[in-house]
Structure 1
């Protein structure tokens, strides 16, 4: 099906350009956003962004597709969907052609930051005897680990954390352990059932998923050393952050960890006026976005522009400047 340029959809819905009659004659044109699994934060945020598009363009057929980060990057790059959600740090890896990508992908640009605190949160079962990665290595513990699905920065980060501590997947298997690549809700369920000792993910804090899951199981949160944090910054482009003590009932002390950033992005081939239209819609309905999800509630309009290491789409940049949130 043909996909209508977003600016054109808005014009048609308002009776501009060629008029609403033509908009009604082309009902099969749509805008697609590829995000995360249904029920997760990215799904809620993606649909909220879609609502801002619907409010500005009632004739636009917006659809949200559940996806995975690496696939989202490929789909947007190839022009198969208009918008995607991913960590800016994974897009940085895509630009360099690093794992999980086979070749550089350089045609992606940011529309907006949607989560500035995608912090690594490492939970271990209290009865596992694990209180640090150093202990896992020294005792060659047969740990069972839940990482996120392959093709996500969450999974890559989990693998890189173990690697930075000198622990390889081969080591874990050799000690009698196992790595599971599953979505976060499935991993938490495995942890409840005693099938997993460690679970690693990147998400805002406090996380409702963590708070809910830990009502029924005893866990502790472990941190990342400054040395390892610096290594991960070089490899992934992450930055240090602290999860304050008391963020969760089971976590009385500050926990040092790392964070990435999640962005809404498009292809550099998207027309400037289309990228501007999406951005202007988000800014116009920013109050709605803040109410739609707790992660978005932490943001102010200026935060939307903070998409490094991914650069803004020129159209989005122009819209932010027009609105006065970017000089």
Structure 2
């Protein structure tokens, strides 16, 4: 009888321990965010967002993984990671199944805006003899171009800018030119070494990378015409923006261009309460996020909601409404 009682108590204790263990496991959230290369702006912001999650949910397990835009979209869509960073305009292309995507990806939703001014900035070496895109087309110039790595909105947009002026990659190669797909720092180095005539990227202005690189070479900035801006807006979802005169020492006049936006996004399958938890942490610790990178320093909490053309996750939307940032 005594043995039976002891066995019963032991079984109950083991059951209780197992129950506590399961409860603790269930309470521990694992969140992985995939962004950009280590040391870059997306890495800094991604890790800062992770810290706000940890502060709001101390038991949460957060990990940051370096990535590339198109891959980030695929990983979040298939549930391999919970959060990603990408341009909203590239996600728009994913939804339509356009290059670099093979089929539509429709299950992505925005959590927050993290950069509203990813502006296209087009630098040309002063000694390249290029005054405009029209002059490249008229002369069938064998121009050497540096675009960002494949699978990024920066690369797609660079190609589409040329197409908006009637210039295809096939044209460029046929005229004896070449397109290099490299990371931005490598492209700037190639330009300094005289290997590239034109470099295009999307980034905030003024850019420290541009300021640093142009101390050692003479360049000018090309603008985008209203007609090309309209074409690109319809195709990519970009918006017109102007780089103010004097933003850079080499740029005395204002330059019209286009801009995209960078968002934190999740799968539509993410639970509403999880999306809300992430938003709550970002709002509550917004001052901390602002200190993480200059990109976030330009934002106010209300800007987090401005994720078009990507729709907000319902849980994120509810959290913004509760905080009074959406009506």
Q: Normalised by the size of structure 2, how large is the TM-score?
A: 0.91
Q: Does 1:63 align with 2:54?
A: no
Q: Please give the per-residue CA displacement for 1:217-254, whole angstroms capped at 9, x wherever unaligned.
A: 21111100101111111111111110001111111110
Q: Deviations over 1:90-124 (max 9, x none)?
A: 11111111111111111000000001111100011
1:69, 1:85 within 8 Å by CA — same for their partners in 2?
Answer: yes
Distance in structure 1 (CA, Å) of the matches to 2:158 and 2:83? 26
Aligned residue for 1:99, secondary structure, equals coil
The residue that corresponds to 1:152 in the other structure is: 152
Q: Write out aligned runs for 1:80-91 (5 A).
A: 80-91=80-91
- Where 1:258 maps in the other structure, the secondary structure is strand
Q: Is the 8 A contact 1:27 1:61 kept in 2?
A: no
Residue 151 of structure 1 aligns to a residue in which SS?
Answer: coil
Q: CA deviation at 1:60?
A: 2.5
Structure 1, 282-291 or 210-219: larger mean CA deviation: 210-219
- In the other structure, the counterpart of 1:290 is 290
Asked if structure 2 preserves the Cα contact closer than 8 Å seen for 1:23 and 1:59, the reply is no
Does structure 1 residue 281 correspond to structure 2 residue 281?
A: yes
Q: What does residue 196 of structure 1 align with? A: 196
Confirm whether residue 229 of structure 1 aligns to residue 229 of structure 2: yes
Query: What is residue 185 of structure 2 aligned with on the other side?
Result: 185
1:76 is matched with 76
Unpaired segments ≥5 residues, structure 1: 1-17
- In the alignment, which residue of structure 2 is the partner of 1:92? 92
| Cα distance between partner residues in 1 of 2:101 and 2:175 | 30
Taking the aligned partners of 1:304 and 1:162, their CA distance within structure 2 comes to: 32
- Name the residue aligned to 1:6: none
The C-alpha deviation readout for 1:72-98, integer Å capped at 9, x for no partner, is 110000000000011111111111111
Q: Distance in 2 between matches of 1:269 and 1:27?
A: 19
**Secondary structure of residue in 1 paired with 2:320:** helix
DSSP 3-state at the match of 2:38: coil
* Higher alpha-carbon deviation: 121-130 or 276-285: 121-130
> Displacement, 1:29?
6.4
Assess, with a 3 A threshold, how the Cα gap between structure 1 residues 286 and 29 changes in structure 2: closer, same or farther. Answer: closer
Distance 1:19 1:221 in 2: 64
Q: Which residue of 2 aligns with 1:302?
A: 302
Name the CA shift for 1:111/1:90 in 2 (closer, same or farther; >3 Å): same
Cα separation, partners in 2 of 1:20 and 1:38, compared to 1, 3 Å: farther
Shift of the 77–50 alpha-carbon distance from structure 1 to 2, 3 Å rule, reads same
Aligned length: 310
Q: Say whether the 8 Å CA contact 2:97–2:105 is kept in structure 1.
A: yes
Tell me the secondary structure at the aligned position of residue 160 of structure 2: helix
Structure 2 counterpart of 1:171: 171
Partner of 2:14: none
Residue in 1 that maps onto 2:115: 115
Query: Which residue is 2:143 aligned to?
Result: 143
Matched, 1:254 2:254: yes
Shift of 1:23: 8.1
Structure 2 unaligned blocks of 5 or more? 1-17
Alignment of 1:207-226 (within 5 A): 207-226=207-226
Cα separation, partners in 2 of 1:28 and 1:177, compared to 1, 3 Å? farther
SS in 1 for 2:162: helix
Larger Rg: 2
Give me the whole-angstrom Cα distance separating, in 2, the residues matched to 1:125 and 1:197.
Answer: 5
**Relative to structure 1, is the Cα distance of residues 85 and 118 closer, same or farther in structure 2, using a 3 angstrom cutoff?**
same
